Structure 1
């Protein structure tokens, strides 16, 4: 049965695999395509198999089958990496090589090069579900200044720069992750400037408010939960507070891009928050950005649904573009 599921999922994605083998793509999302806990991603010529099961042992027996299937179907693969998301040992969560040489250190998307460190953390250092947002940023950020909060490895900021943004600030508490943003910047020919700001979110916001800084665009992509002495991030309980905290940093008619990836938060709750913001008269919801089909699964491959209905979004990663109106009509200062 698993072989059949993998075959159907690969067939649905076959047209998305480029002959250059430089892209990043989800080959199988078991949460929706018939094997909960199993996720298979492609990063250039590296196959990354992620075991999200609790406990991990429940999927151990099928892991060799998965690697064998893809090595036969995609004989050009050079490396296979296995991550056990809920393993006790940190090294197993970060990933071990199952076959081949070292994992890929770079992918290309829409002509933009992004640096990778696939064993940086339990995730992959590159988020496939925001691909359409990166496309939007490439197409719409020419000449703009952008603040990327919770930038992590900075892919959204790099996409904005690739689209001609004149100035991007990448801020995150994780210096190691931000180093990948710097590598990505160096791997591309970009006309705009980039500032790396390794700082707690709440400190960073206060820093720019003290400078009376205004950006053409602000990206808010927080983790599900984090807590520092400066404040707490909790997408289930204080997401609207985070939005209101960064809203004063957006120039008149500027763009605030907000992302909420809380799995158990329904899309209706996110829309209620956006409607409450709209009722103030200073926030205008403009567009919802869908998640690509290789992440959500295709009509012919989807078997299971998310635990909370994300509609009107198409995935628990819920992305919205908000147009900001200011009483003072102030333009960007950066």
Structure 2
């Protein structure tokens, strides 16, 4: 059955060619790093996204029904022709059996990548996504440049890439916390790739609300906290909903030392940039938090002027992408007496 979401035969190849040409300056570092090669939602084919991690190409087919096998094969050949280092291709679709991906070319997917001099462990079959978010690349750069001698709490750590970047920047300690042990296992693998000791106390498996409550009771304050929650999640202990960013920020702000910082990420496509800024301004109204800067998504994720063909459902401005990253500075009330 032909999918109605596929462009005409000549049109789809032109879209991929234009997108790849816009990224030409990024291609020389590939083979070990990661890049979004095609963001179909913005670049003209919403049913398709393509990323590369080291030597592995990942094709995301969001079409319903999925794109026909011969068309997927043509897309695969297009990229293999352009990028000679590709040794493996994974296809992820909305079919239950393929959500985590199946290998359609080669055998062994990449198990590591290197970005900005830091090694990250990969498991490209771990989840529906690739387990490594390319849209937070500039945040990893910032963390590496600003974490020296700091104590950092990485909440909703997932596979730990943000905390790993902070550790690479010379952080005195990074504590990663996530509900899922298998996600944190990948963060530990990243430590091993970088020849860092793995201290079990730095990897806390548990519900966000429980861990934060325990740290408030027992732990010293942190110099920085990373808050990058999923767009929605519920547990017996509480609910995570990115339409309620203020509530989550207020949960972690008591853990941050005077003069410390909070990285607050909201990746909800349906939350506009203006709406998120209003939420941040609300939580900053008491004068003990202030917005210091916004960190952009890289252009391979945010789109290039020559490639963007579709408007987003909500306007991310003043951010450049639906992954909205804000750096907040923290002041604490002085205790009297």
Tell me the TM-score range normalised by the shorter chain.
over 0.9
Q: Deviations over 1:238-273 (max 9, x none)?
A: 211000010000000100000000001100010101
Q: Is residue 44 from structure 1 mapped to residue 54 from structure 2 by the alignment?
A: yes
- What SS does the aligned partner of 1:17 have? helix
Q: How many residues align?
A: 325
- State the Cα RMSD in Å: 1.7
The answer to whether the aligner puts 1:64 opposite 2:70 as a matched pair is no
The equivalent of 1:13 in structure 2 is 23
Other-structure match for 1:201: 208
Taking structure 1 as reference, are residues 270 and 262 closer, same or farther at Cα in structure 2, changes over 3 Å only?
same
Q: State the shift of 1:329 in Å.
A: 7.3
Q: Which residue of 2 aligns with 1:217?
A: 224
Structure-1 residue corresponding to 2:89:
80
Selected match of 1:22 from 32, 40, 48: 32
Equivalences for residues 100-115 of structure 1 within 5 A: 100-115=106-121
> Which segments of 5 or more consecutive residues in structure 1 lack a partner in the other structure?
none
Q: How high is the TM-score relative to the length of structure 1?
A: 0.94
Instruction: Select which of 121, 125, 134 maps to 1:119.
Output: 125
* Among 291, 295, 312, the residue aligned to 1:285: 291
| TM-aligned CA deviation for residue 190 of structure 1 | 4.3
Contact 1:168 1:192 in 2 (8 A): no
Could you tell me whether the CA contact under 8 Å between 1:148 and 1:218 is conserved in 2? yes
Tell me the equivalent position of 2:5: none
* Cα distance change of structure 1 residues 185 and 192 upon mapping to structure 2, 3 Å threshold: closer
Q: Secondary structure at the match of 1:241?
A: helix
Matches within 5 A, 1:142-161: 142-161=148-167
Cα distance per residue 1:126-182 (max 9 Å; x no partner): 000000000000000100000000000000000000000010000000110100000
User: What is the CA–CA distance in structure 2 between the aligned matches of 1:305 and 1:213, rounded to whole Å?
Assistant: 45
What is aligned with 1:244? 250
Contact 2:188 2:198 in 1 (8 A): no
Residues 220, 259 of structure 1: 8 Å contact kept: yes
* Partner residue, 1:2: 12
1:161–1:192 CA contact under 8 A, matched in 2: no
Q: Deviations over 1:95-126 (max 9, x none)?
A: 00011121100000001000000000101010
Query: What is the CA–CA distance in structure 1 between the aligned matches of 2:218 and 2:272, rounded to whole Å?
Result: 37
Q: How many Å separate the matches in 2 of 1:117 and 1:192?
A: 19
